Each structure stands twice: as C-alpha cells, then as structure tokens.
Amino acid sequence: MKRFAIGALSLVFLLGIAISAMAQAPSYTQFGKYKKEPPYKIGFSYHGGGIDYDIQFDAAIKWLANKEYGSLISNLYMTDAQFDVAKQQADVEDLIAKGIDGLIISPVSPSAEVSLINSLYDKGIPVVVVLGEYDGNKYTAYRASNAQDFGRIGAEWMVQQLIKKVGSPKGSLIVLHGVPGAAAEIGRWDRGAKPVFAKYPQIKIVGEGAGQWAYDEGKRVITTLLAANPKADMIWSCGGQMSLAAAEVCAANGRYDCIISGEDYNGLFKFWIANKSKGFSCIAPTFPSWIANTGFDAMIQVLLGQTVQVKEVFPPPTITDDTVRNYVVPSLPDTIWVATALPKAVLQEMYGKK
C-alpha cells in the first residue's frame, strides 16, 4: 500500500507537470488559414519616423523583402506614423484600401490601437504586431523585444553601481524619456525601470525630460537638467542617442563617474571605449531591429499556408563593460545601431564608409 501510495503520488506529480507544460506551451496559427497565391501586397505601418534608428530600420525591412522574398512580393507599402496614433490609424486605413494581403504593424501605443487591430483580425486579415509593447491579444503573430526587461536590466545595474559608489542605494536620479506615451517608453520606463527604482525610496528623481529619442533634443534636455542638478548620481536614458548626449555633457563637466544607462548605439560605444580609463562605465540593453524581420518572416509563412508560433517575445541582448569592444564598429558612423539584420557591407554602402 505504501509503494502504491508513493507511486500514485508520483503519477499525480508527473501528470501535474505535464498539464502545466501543456498550459505553457506556445500556440500556433492554424495550418493554411491565411493561404493565398503569391505575389503579395504587404503593408507595414511603422510607429515612428525621422530619427536614425528609423532610417536604418526602414532600410533593413526593404533589404529583407528584396533579398529573401522578392519573387513573392508585388508591392511593399511602408508608412511612418511619426509617433501619432491618429496618423497611424489613418495610415492603416489607407493600406487596407490598397488591397493588401497582410498588415505588419509596430503600434505607436500599447493600448490605443487595440480596437483597430482587433477589428482587422476579426475580419480575417492577417496582422503581425512587431517590435514594441502591445496590450492586445488578437493578432496572427506577435514578435517583440522585451521592453520591460530593457528598462529593468539597465535600472538594476544602475542601482548596483550606486551601491558600489556610495555604499548604499541612496542618491539622485535624472530620467531621460523618449516620446511620452509611446510603446517603447511605456515598456522601458513605466513598466520596466520605474518599478525597480521604486523599491529604493532613498533614490530620488530630481529631474525628468523628454529627449524624443534624438541626439540634439536629448543634449538640450540633459544640459538643462544637469545645470539644475550638477551632482546627480545617475541618468537613466530611454535610448542610445540620448545616452551619448548625456555622457558627453557629463564629461564636459568632468563627470565621468555619473552612472548612465545606454543602448546599442555605435556612437555611445565609441565614447564608452575612449573614456573607460577615465572611469566611465555603462550598460547597453538592445532593441534589435531584426526582430521586425522575424515578423516579416511570419507574415510570408502564413500567407504561404504554413503555421507559425503566435507569440514570441525576445529578451534583449545586453552589452557590458566587458563586451563592448566586441560590438563597436569603428569604420561606421556614430548613427548606426549595432543589433541589426543588415550586413556590414550594406551598412557601408548606405553610409558611404569603407
């Protein structure tokens, strides 16, 4: 009886593991549900536009479409929403009017476009959501970088650096936001970094500003914030160009010890390596543009009638003091992001470098 009871308990335990594994198993699209004969008209509604990341991102998508799927695509329509929800909704309506076979969208906001995307999905239009934070659950596929981990990783590293510096998690913090309300901003700051800093009540936010994910605006904002708080211990930045601007302003004031979070921006890497000997330290979670390419892959696969995993959220690869030399590209300009699907030869052609 004892052996039977142990055996029965083991069976229940193993059954529980199996049921749990089944519950956590990824779901897949229905085989053949969206199958159409090529060539396809693909619409891509992008959330931003105008900054260096967007230019490189646009080139990467077009390169992939031409190199991998040229014979399968008759038209690729790409629109830039300029971080404007209303414009993105109008852009999507225009794309649907063009008779697209599928929509790829990186939403401006995690929540504002849920009803729009739901309605397209309910009509049977294949919709692949890519890149950023998204709160809806109706889509053909979702491919994104974990924005919350991006913010959390940078914030946790900063707290540990502060403890090393002053002996306790006590200090002052400046926050450089991207575009308020944007999906990446909400994911990285509101849901990622902010909850980390909130655990330490002796870390005080002494200044905040929106650098719009741009170098020039970031430099203007951080110059003003540092003038008001010249002894700030830390600067959490929502993007790499703003991180470089912050590092340069700090360095101009002899503040190589200011704790700054970064991103995989080549200009930041160059500054980082050049000033490590002066005490500059950083961390760079990445927001790989190649993740959108996996969304493009998923769209083509479902249109060909194949089945794909519905949801994949990728952890952000993170670059540190020990690994930054492995990722900097000295022969290319500051304005590239290293985590890209574009080969170096294509980047060199784009930027006129050898």
Q: Answer yes or no: is 8 within a domain.
A: no
Q: Which residues contact 146 (CB under 8 A, 6 or more apart)?
A: 187, 313, 314, 315, 316
Asked if residue 173 and residue 123 are part of one domain, the reply reads no
In a domain, 6, yes or no: no
Quote the CA–CA distance of 210 and 189 in Å, as a whole number.
12
Determine the pLDDT at residue 68. 86
The pLDDT tens digits for 70-102 are: 899 999 999 999 999 999 999 999 999 999 999
Question: How confident is residue 350, by pLDDT bands cut at 50, 70 and 90?
Answer: confident
Query: What is the span of the domain harbouring residue 264?
Result: 147-285
Same domain, 151 and 206: yes
- Residue 30 belongs to a domain: no
Lowest mean pLDDT among 45-54, 81-90, 257-266, 321-330: 45-54
Average pLDDT over residues 152-156: 98
Residue 29 lies in a domain: no
Query: Which pLDDT band, with edges at 50, 70 and 90, does 349 fall under?
Result: confident
User: Does residue 280 sit in the same domain as residue 344?
Assistant: no
- What total of structural domains would you count in the chain? 2
* Strand intervals (E) in 194-249: 203-210, 234-237
Residue 19 domain flag: no
Q: Which of 285, 311, 328 is the last residue of a domain?
A: 285
Q: Are residues 158 and 82 part of one domain?
A: no
Question: Cα(167)–Cα(160) distance, rounded to whole angstroms?
Answer: 10
Q: Name the residue with tokens 């060539």.
A: 39
The CATH number covering residue 70 comes to: 3.40.50.2300
* Single pTM value for the model: 0.89
22 burial class (0-12, 13-18, 19+ CB within 10 angstroms)?
A: exposed
Q: 261, 235 in Cβ contact below 8 A? A: yes
What does the alpha-carbon distance between residue 221 and residue 225 come to, in Å, rounded to a whole number? 6
Are 164 and 241 part of one and the same domain? yes
How would you list the strands of the sheet with 40-46, edge to edge? 73-80, 40-46, 102-105, 127-131, 141-145, 311-314
Pair 260, 153 in one domain: yes
- Please tell me which residue, 149 or 25, carries the higher pLDDT value: 149
Say whether both 241 and 316 belong to one domain. no
Is 83 within a domain? yes
Q: Indicate if the pLDDT at residue 10 is higher than 90.
A: no
Here the contacts of 71-75 (C-beta below 8 Å, separation 24 or greater) are: 71/38, 71/39, 72/38, 72/39, 72/40, 72/300, 72/304, 73/38, 73/39, 73/40, 73/41, 73/42, 74/38, 74/39, 74/40, 74/41, 75/41, 75/42
pLDDT at 25: 56
**pLDDT the model gives residue 325:** 97
pLDDT of residue 344: 83
- Angle of the 240-252 helix axis to the 266-275 helix axis, nearest 10: 30
Q: What is the pLDDT of residues 238-297, one digit of tens each?
A: 999 999 999 999 999 999 999 999 999 999 999 999 999 999 999 999 988 888 889 999
**Cα(139)–Cα(123) distance, rounded to whole angstroms?**
11
Do 266 and 153 share a structural domain?
yes
Do 65 and 114 lie in one domain? The reply is yes
